[in-house]
Amino acid sequence: MSSHEHEEEVLAPTPGARVTAFLKRRDVRVSTALGIFFTLVFVLLGWKFYPHWMPTIMSTDMKANEALMVAFTYISAPICGIVLGIATYTFMHRHKGDTPPEDGPAIRTNGPLVVTWTVVTSLFALLAIVWGITELNVGATAAAAEAKSALVVEVTGSQWVWTFNYPSLGIETHELNLPINQPVIFDVVSSDVNHSFWPVQLGVKVDANRLETTVVHTTPTKLGNIDIKCAELCGLYHAYMETSGQIMTGSDFNNWVTAQGGHTA
């Protein structure tokens, strides 16, 4: 596949000399420098962007989500570096004017490069897959372990209000209050169309379906306010299908349950 002139190049000097010559080329050096620059930019972005903009981490799941997004940005930084480094270099050496530039080298392909590129991108993809699967597994294992001790909350999405039922405590509310460090299982249903239950700071999400219970679980790890939103367009007041809640200490939670007329477990 490789072109005629390319083979000649292969034959001439030793591989070491070729690499040295390659690395001494101006375009290689400048592109590499640019590539490193862009890599650093994206590393910086990964370091700052999500931690800065994402809401407070208030559960184990949210922590894992954010860590994953930061890590993926780091992983993709060198890819961005390569793409943007080469692109920027060629852009800097562009040809202006109304006539086409003279022809460049007739490089038809470069077998080893194509293979290397494919292998490397495959490895990156594999890393992402393995990371994701591991994370899923950790979540599933944790859920199984915590299932017995977990507080069950039945979440119902109705056009356009969320309601919460704590069957073990005998209370129903429109606000989602939870005790800290207590595993919680959300059994989510809808009384009409599809909704998506999203307690933002807890980093979990699951759709609410009519007559079909979907389950999601997490463990709140930080005290404070949480927002509960609907993440699936559900008609007229979809935007207003939000409510709030609190992660409370165990005793505060018990007091709240009692005040609501429930019985503490």
Quick check: 24 and 13 in contact, CB under 8 A?
A: no
Q: Least distance (Å) from another protein to the CB of residue 56?
A: 11
Q: Report the site for another protein in 60-79 (rule: CB under 8 A).
A: 61-62, 64-66, 68-69, 72-73, 76, 79
Under the criterion CB under 8 A, does residue 23 sit at the interface with another protein? no
Closest listed residue to residue 222, CA positions, set 66, 56, 84 = 56
Residues 219, 146 contacting (CB under 8 angstroms):
yes
Of the candidate spans 15-23, 135-143, 144-152, 248-256, the one that interacts with another protein by CB under 8 A turns out to be: 135-143
Pairing of strands 206-208, 171-173: unpaired
What whole-number distance in Å separates Cα of residue 154 and Cα of residue 147?
Answer: 15
In Å, what is the CA distance from 259 to each residue of 26, 52, 170, 224? 74, 37, 12, 19
Q: Which is nearer to another protein, 180 or 230 (CB)?
A: 230
Q: Does 231 bind another protein (CB under 8 A)?
A: yes
The site that binds another protein (CB under 8 A) totals a number of residues, namely: 108
Q: Applying CB under 8 A, does 247 fall inside the site for another protein? A: no
- Positions in 81-110 near another protein (CB under 8 A): 82-84, 86-87, 90-91, 93-97, 100-110
Q: Is 220 exposed, middle or buried (0-12, 13-18, 19+ CB in 10 A)?
A: buried
* The pair of three-digit structure tokens given for residue 256, joined into one six-digit string: 């709240």
Of 12-20, 145-153, 177-185, 209-217, which segment contacts another protein by CB under 8 A?
Answer: 209-217
Length of the chain: 265
| Contact between 142 and another protein per CB under 8 A | no
Q: From the list 17, 19, 44, 125, which residue makes contact with another protein (rule: CB under 8 A)? A: 125
Binding status of residue 48 toward another protein by CB under 8 A: no
Would you say 153 or 250 has its CB closer to another protein?
153
Do residues 189 and 157 touch, judged by C-beta distance below 8 A?
yes
**How far apart, in whole angstroms, are the C-alpha atoms of residue 134 and residue 113?**
31
- Exactly one of 15, 22, 24, 211 binds another protein (CB under 8 A); which one? 211
240 binds another protein (CB under 8 A): yes
Which C-beta is closer to another protein: that of 57 or that of 180? 57
Which of 128, 185 has the CB closer to another protein? 128
DSSP assignment letter at 210: B
CB 254 within 8 A of CB 166: no
Nearer to another protein, 196 or 219 (CB): 196
> Of 82 and 150, which CB lies nearer to another protein in the complex structure?
82
